[in-house]
Amino acid sequence: MTGKGTPGAHDVPSGNAASSLPIELRSVSKSFAGIRVVHSVSFDMHPGEVHALMGENGAGKSTMIKIMAGLHQADEGEILVNGRVVKFASPKDAHAAGIATVHQELLLFPELTVAENIFLGQTPKTRLGTIDWQKMRERSRQLLDSLDSGDLDIDQKVATLSVGNRQRIEIARALAQDARVLIMDEPTAALAEADVQRLMAIVRNLRDRGVAIVYVSHRMPEIFALADRVTVLRDGHHVATKNISDVDEPALVSMMVGRAIDRLYPAKQGTDGDVILELKDVSYRSVVRGISLKLKRGEILGLAGLVGSGRTETALTIFGITPATSGEILIDGKAQAIASPEAARDLGIAYIPEDRGSQGLIRMQTIEENVALANLKRLMRGFLVDAARVTAEAKNAITKFGIRARGPEQLVRQLSGGNQQKVVLGKWLATNPRILIMDEPTRGIDVGAKAEIHLLMRKLAGEGMAILMISSELPEVLGMSDRVLVMNGGRIVGEFDKEHATAEAVGTIMTRTFTNGEAA
């Protein structure tokens, strides 16, 4: 590779170059239950390039990478590896062809060691046919060293490791399979910023070694920092393949959603009202330490800070999941003892949790069952749930929030991430809250759904709702907040109005070292 962007000097590779391509998909189509989700899509990889695959949730990205990984078989079209037509009947066939996948949900065995996970299913053997433990440990050490991950203990159980470290093990496992194509599905979705930077360094390392990397992510800064080319899908169709140097963020967004998004962060509607929520010196054990804040009607108050700074813990205390051990929480100026989420709900507080999959939804249940969860008392008729009212509530949420679904009876797990987030919103807004706490409201959703969530937040605030927003994305904090509070070490260490809340000012105080609430 002669430089960033070189592999994609043409949108469609010439036929005589095909033999050098580690993988190529030609006119691939796929249907499920008679519904076509991928329409004659072509996609190829060059050795030593990072090729970003982008599109809104539901655009066909997951289906495409599952076809490449052997999890799905195409109904039409063909797959070529190094110029030869192949058919993958299973992931095992894809592995044999040099294609490995690092899934968003890491597939490791927590009770096995690092080395055992790296060589699971492909353990080196002695002449007697037993596991060669010494060779496995040596090769594991070599693989991790090659990824600048020599700090990992190969004998440590995976259960004790962070998500970032587990991901490095998945990558080492792929290299142990001699992968020439590495598919990375939302690799940074659950990572802290330090782990994101380390992962990006590993991706560059692999690219320089000639590995072809399919990189799926919603995070634009990563795409522009890493990718050589980008392919955009929309509604299962191929929109374009471009050198990353030939596009900018607005152009990518327009290709993904089929329209320009003029304002990712919509302007404030109306003015703030009276203080509705106040915390006075609130603490929860040693993780929330003397928090004092005020939230007004019609205001979006941003809560910024690094992972572990106490942001989520403060939200859990306000919502009664971890009740305050000292201090006062006031609603409309009156002190309230919020000892449970039910008590918080009855006071007009709703909470959209950070992890919608495990905390906000029951993914194996339907949309209507999930929407009803926070509001069952109101939906009861005698001792039974009024099924007609439950369905009506779900239909209202689908219409009001633009949830893309077949109907109220569809299982939540079948929805895209953005639509799942809308179901969580529908569930809690059905309780008619006055205070809405949103923890990472747009994590893991595409730019189109993100813009819709932001527009909804502004609309709710314009109608007088008070919103406390927690986000790890600094642009989101700065773009959506009317005021910004910064947390560090369980305390509030800074406050900025919108005019003075710059990335430099907020970022500096987020990362500063504090001792007993004072800057070191």
**Each residue of 432-483: pLDDT tens digit?**
999 999 999 988 777 778 888 999 999 999 999 999 999 988 888 999 999 9
pLDDT for 5: 45
pLDDT tens track for 404-433: 898 999 999 888 888 899 999 999 999 999
- Written out in words, the top-level CATH class of the domain with range 1-98+212-255 is alpha beta
24-41 average pLDDT score: 92
Which runs of consecutive H residues, i.e. helices, occur in 154-236? Answer: 163-176, 193-208, 220-226
**106: which 2 tokens?**
């890491």
pLDDT digits 0-9 by tens, 108-124:
898 999 999 999 888 89
Q: Would the pLDDT of 259 be above 80?
A: no
**Do the beta carbons of residue 457 and residue 441 sit within 8 Å?**
yes
DSSP letters for 458-483:
HHHHHTT-EEEEE-S-HHHHHHH-SE
Quick one: average pLDDT of 485-489? 93
- On whether the CB atoms of residues 327 and 335 are closer than 8 A, the answer is no
| SS3 call for 250 | helix
Q: Are 492 and 486 in contact (CB under 8 A)?
A: yes
Asked if residue 519 has pLDDT above 60, the reply is: no
Q: In this predicted model, which residue has the larger pLDDT, 106 or 36?
A: 36
Whether the Cβ atoms of residue 426 and residue 399 lie closer than 8 Å to each other? no
- Domain 275-348+433-519 sits in CATH at 3.40.50.300
Task: Please tell me the pTM assigned to this model.
Answer: 0.66
Nearest CA-CA partner of 470 in 263, 293, 240: 293
User: Which residues lie closer than 8 Å to 374 by C-beta, 6 or more apart?
Assistant: 345, 350, 427, 428, 430, 431
| Structure-model confidence comparison of residues 377 and 350, the more confident one | 350
Dihedral in degrees, nearest 10, Cα atoms 291, 296, 300, 302: -10
pLDDT score for 196? 84
pLDDT at 13: 37
Which whole number is the average pLDDT over 334-343?
A: 96
Asked if domains 1-98+212-255 and 275-348+433-519 share a fold, the reply is yes
| Bigger pLDDT: 96 vs 253 | 96
Tens digits of per-residue pLDDT, 6-29? 443 333 333 334 457 999 999 999
pLDDT attached to residue 375: 83
What's the full length of the chain, in residues?
520
Q: At what angle do helices 193-208 and 163-176 cross, to 10 degrees?
A: 10
User: Structural domain boundaries of the chain?
Assistant: 1-98+212-255, 275-348+433-519
pLDDT tens per residue, range 143-195:
898 888 888 899 999 999 888 888 889 889 888 888 999 999 888 876 777 78
**Span 90-97, mean pLDDT?**
92
- Average pLDDT of the chain, as a whole number: 88
Sign of torsion over alpha carbons 246, 251, 257, 263: positive
29: part of which helix (H) or strand (E)?
strand 23-32
pLDDT surpasses 50 at 201: yes
pLDDT for residue 399 is more than 70:
yes
